[in-house]
Amino acid sequence: MRKMCLLVLAVASVLTSAGVDSATSKGGAGEGPERGGQPAAARTQSERERPISARAFNLEVTIDGYPLQQYPARGRVYIEAQAGAEYGITLRNPWPDRVAVALAVDGLNTIDARHTTARAASKWVIEPYGAITISGWQMSSTLARRFYFTSERDAYAARLGRPDELGLITAVFFRERRPITIVPPPRPPYILEDEQARTESRDKGAAPAKQSSARADSAGQARNRAGAPVPYDNDDYAATGIGRAVDHDVRRIKLELEDRPAAEISLRYEYHPALVRLGVLPHPHPHPPAPDPLQRREHARGFHHEQFCPEP
């Protein structure tokens, strides 16, 4: 069964995508296999009991449904790319509100391949406590082309002439703006009593007409609500290519977002040799440290024992 994904386009509109598993799109944060010895349902319940401001958004890169291990180092978080492998990006929303996510791979928006600010970017929408998996570049309202790990030369961004931010996945989350209700301050009791007395005296004889008018107004408001539109809310280094086409339906919706992002997550990806050179991963065959020439010279001795000169 095909599932539709929502997008927010240019701050005000959103698309939805088909190709997302129903468990992932509706209840993704609370389902799936156990991780870390704690059942997914228990993790979700624990997460919901935390204050909203303390709940962490989540970004994972998956291959065949399995998340790649993340390595915090050098003030960033790294993952190990696997040459030629297709991958997906899973985003989870731990909040009880809809959020919109600007998702960029190699500096390109995954929806339209543009390079903009996160605020101005077209965005994916995640339902409360939900999750989505984005597996490719969105090419139309029904098709996407898969992400896969490749070389810098073959990168989609390099083909478009924008190879400046290869090896980086960034997600910026924006919360849906809630309507602000202004409650007037309470009025002194004596003013309320005087106004009530005057109102009862003035409207005593006009009660039937007033009730009829109220019913008519109520019916008119109901008709207006029913007819009104609903507000909607180089080869050694890894890069991402543009792969095979897959079905991925999307739909645009309107969504009012808060001005400031709720969270931003970035992942750096590199092949294993690059991660070793960066010090993120240990060298598989560590070499003994090279001798210090100065220490060798300091330990030199002129004569040791009697002997003749050897043949070279």
Q: What is the pLDDT of residues 178-202, one digit of tens each?
A: 765 556 666 555 555 555 666 565 5
Query: In angstroms, how far apart are the furthest CA atoms of the chain?
Result: 136
The rounded distance, in Å, linking the Cα atoms of 170 and 103 is: 6
Average pLDDT of the chain? 75
- 123-137, 194-208, 275-289 — most confident range: 123-137
Residues in the chain: 312
Per-residue model confidence (pLDDT) at position 192: 53
Alpha-carbon distance of 161 to 148, in angstroms, equals 19
Q: To which residue do tokens 């109901």 refer?
A: 222
Q: How confident is the model at residue 284 (pLDDT cuts 50, 70, 90)?
A: confident
Predicted confidence (pLDDT) at residue 262 exceeds the cutoff of 90: yes
How far is Cα 273 from Cα 48, in angstroms, rounded to an integer?
Answer: 40
Confidence of residue 12 (pLDDT cuts 50, 70, 90): very low
pLDDT at 99: 95
pLDDT tens digits, 204-246:
554 444 444 444 344 333 333 333 333 323 568 999 999 999 9
